Amino acid sequence: MRVLSGTQPSHDYLHIGNYFGALRQQVALQEKYETLIFIADFHSMNSVRDADERQRYTRAVALDFLACGLDPAQAILFRQSDVPEVCELAWYLSTVTPMGLLERGHAYKDKLAQGQSANHGLFAYPVLMAADILLYRADLVPVGRDQKQHIEMARDMAEAFNRTYDAEVLTLPEPQILDDVAVVPGTDGRKMSKTYDNGIPMFASEKQIKQAVMGIVTDSTPVEDPKDTKSTVFEIWSLFASADDRVEMFKRAGAGGLGYGDVKKDLLRRLLEFFAPMRERRAELEKRPDEVENVLLDGANRARAIGAPILDEVRRAAGFRTCT
């Protein structure tokens, strides 16, 4: 069973929402499946307009995955841009993809609503995403329920190509809905997102992490009054607490006398302890940039070994000369 997952390098850090929402699940895949994880630097061109920033963000994502336990001997970790076959496949798919399918894309509408300028790259984003999946004949693509549409669109494109050229060359992927992912609130109460700049980084300096934690928005309930344990600070704190710890803390909150500042201090302590081993691994890897680069290049070679023969089948079906 082959599983594929990707992460866009759109910032110089991944936050705890990325970790609990996707990264830890992506790393765990390597224990059960043939796993490919790519850093979607082509996709980042819709939001990152500086070449040096893109390279820095891409390295940061690679470091984060390796620090969080991804084993390059088990999983294939690579840069999307190191596999040029994906762009060729995206072109073939674009010629059989109806405009209406792309116009119905939730992500496109959401980006426009957020004020992002409309361009062809943003509009055709699902085509490149489909190519990312179909190039490797991925059986499963782990996604949250809000991303299921992307997999459905990839299936539609694969079916359209197979039907057009009367050849079953593209495998229809299945979404693996991640029901156990946490939707982590940001410091302002909205979903934690780089777009909103409300994240708590995993691997920034302790000063920066402290600043983010202490900046979590709370209400003006006096210390002596009971606290709402469904508020943002308690939701984030709960990610790092055991069931027994939550019972005890929520009891204190209900009784009154517990300040939000005390909860934030305890959250900071737990967060730093939780990520300490990963921070240490990341710091060591950061001293060995050539080693990290070799992991990505080796991953790209392994990914191309899978994808190039599949692309040849696509080329042959469409009437083009094969390359291998």
**Residues annotated as part of the active site:** 111, 191, 194
Dig out the tokens for 10 from the structure.
């759109």
DSSP 59-87: HHHHHHHHHTT--TTTSEEEEGGG-THHH
**Count of residues for the chain?**
324
How many Cβ atoms from other residues are within 10 Å of residue 208's Cβ? 13
The answer to whether residues 237 and 263 touch, using CB atoms and an 8 Å cutoff, is yes
Dig out the tokens for 69 from the structure.
């336990």
- The phi, psi pair for 191, rounded to 5°, reads -55, 135
Q: Which residues contact 57 (CB under 8 A, 6 or more apart)?
A: 9, 10, 11, 12, 44, 48
**In terms of Cα–Cα distance, which of 316, 43, 4 is closest to 161?**
316
* Per-residue CA distances from 197 to 168, 184, 185, 274 (Å): 44, 14, 12, 23
d(CA 107, CA 127): 13
d(CA 118, CA 46): 10
d(CA 158, CA 160): 5
Q: Which residues contact 294 (CB under 8 A, 6 or more apart)?
A: none
DSSP 28-70: HGGGTSEEEEEE-TTGGGGT---HHHHHHHHHHHHHHHHHTT-
- The phi, psi pair for 6, rounded to 5°, reads -140, 155
